[in-house]
């Protein structure tokens, strides 16, 4: 599998999120009863704190109001412990209802602990996302979600890409020259890589990432081996090296929570 970015391209971080239940079979009517405690944790850009345990029971439902009709192709879930329940996803333009024709996908793979699970989830111009627990057990340990775009690199970066670490230690030197260290956090991995020759289609894709996440939305970088929660260190810069051919530099910093 090639390298990928998975990021919020639909305004998920700014969405209004409610929880409740639904009634009905072919047409399901959502009721805002607030059953899932601390539901806001799925969109707070913090992967360390899950929703309240045992509050996401069978058929408890999330309603995500994106504010306007949006299109996406992926959803990513992060769990602080493993969970094997199924989530069922619908997308609708109705503020209280979704039907069998609004079905998007079932998120049914075993969800790993302390890692991302990414699913294809194609939504075409819908405002409301409905997600409910389809298993007769509590759905626990979900701490973060991303709905948006999965971009698979058209070409890989140059071989001279840099991977390093940003230390989280403060060094204080005394008058006598002794050094004292205060470790504030674990080191953060950094990536700096360059695409030397990309066409306008890949430039457009990277510009979309740039515009949507900027330097405040966290997103996922898949390095062809593992998922990393990251932030852009600086805006992606493009240089035209030939007519309609560009180079681009991307700098990322790992996020610990």
Beta carbons of 122 and 129 less than 8 angstroms apart: no
User: Distance between CA atoms of 147 and 22, rounded to whole angstroms?
Assistant: 22
For the chain, give the number of residues: 257
Q: Which two tokens stand for residue 105?
A: 């996908």
Looking up tokens 């769990």, which residue turns up? 79
Concatenated DSSP letters of 18-33: EEEEEE-SSEEEEE--
Question: Could you tell me the pTM of the whole model?
Answer: 0.94
The whole-number pLDDT of residue 233 equals 96
User: Distance between CA atoms of 42 and 52, rounded to whole angstroms?
Assistant: 11
**Nearest of 134, 141, 135, 133 to residue 53 by alpha carbon:** 141
Residue-wise pLDDT for 160-187, tens only, equals 778 888 888 878 888 888 888 888 888 8
User: How many C-beta atoms surround the C-beta of residue 26 within 10 A?
Assistant: 7
Q: Would the pLDDT of 1 be above 80? A: no
Q: Would the pLDDT of 135 be above 90? A: yes
Average pLDDT over residues 222-248: 95
Handedness of CA 71, 112, 88, 103 (dihedral sign): positive
In percent, the amount of the chain with pLDDT more than 70 equals: 100
Q: Would the pLDDT of 159 be above 80? A: no
- Domains of the chain (ranges; CATH) run 4-152 (2.60.120.260), 162-254 (no CATH)
- Residue, of 74 and 215, whose pLDDT is higher: 74
Residue 157, helix vs strand vs coil: coil
The whole-number pLDDT of residue 156 equals 86
Residue-wise pLDDT for 86-108, tens only, equals 999 999 999 999 999 999 999 98
| Angle, CA of 64, 69 and 71, to the nearest 5° | 90
What totals of helices (H) and strands (E) does the chain contain, helices first? Answer: 1, 17
């Amino acid at each position: 599998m090639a390298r990928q970015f998975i990021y919020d391209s639909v305004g998920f971080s700014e969405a209004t999120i409610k929880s409740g239940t639904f009634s009905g079979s072919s047409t399901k009517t959502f009721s805002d009863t607030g059953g899932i405690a601390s539901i806001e944790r799925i969109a707070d850009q913090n992967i360390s704190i899950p929703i309240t345990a045992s509050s996401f029971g069978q058929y408890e439902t999330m309603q995500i109001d994106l504010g306007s009709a949006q299109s996406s192709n992926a959803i990513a879930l992060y769990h602080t412990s493993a969970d094997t329940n199924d989530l069922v996803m619908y997308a609708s333009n109705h503020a209280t209802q979704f039907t069998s024709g609004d079905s998007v996908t079932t998120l049914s793979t075993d969800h790993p602990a302390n890692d991302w699970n990414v699913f294809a989830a194609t939504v075409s111009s819908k405002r409301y996302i409905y997600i409910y627990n389809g298993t007769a057990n509590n759905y626990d340990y979900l701490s973060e979600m991303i709905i948006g775009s999965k971009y698979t690199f058209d070409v890989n970066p140059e071989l001279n890409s840099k991977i390093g670490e940003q230390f989280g230690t403060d060094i204080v030197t005394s008058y006598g020259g002794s050094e004292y260290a205060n470790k504030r956090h674990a080191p953060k991995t950094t990536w700096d890589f360059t695409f030397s020759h990309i066409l306008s289609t890949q430039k457009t894709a990277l510009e979309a990432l740039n515009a949507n996440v900027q330097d405040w939305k966290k997103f996922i970088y898949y390095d062809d081996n593992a998922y990393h929660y990251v932030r852009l260190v600086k805006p992606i810069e493009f240089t035209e090296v030939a007519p309609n051919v560009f180079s681009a530099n991307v700098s990322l910093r790992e996020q610990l929570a």
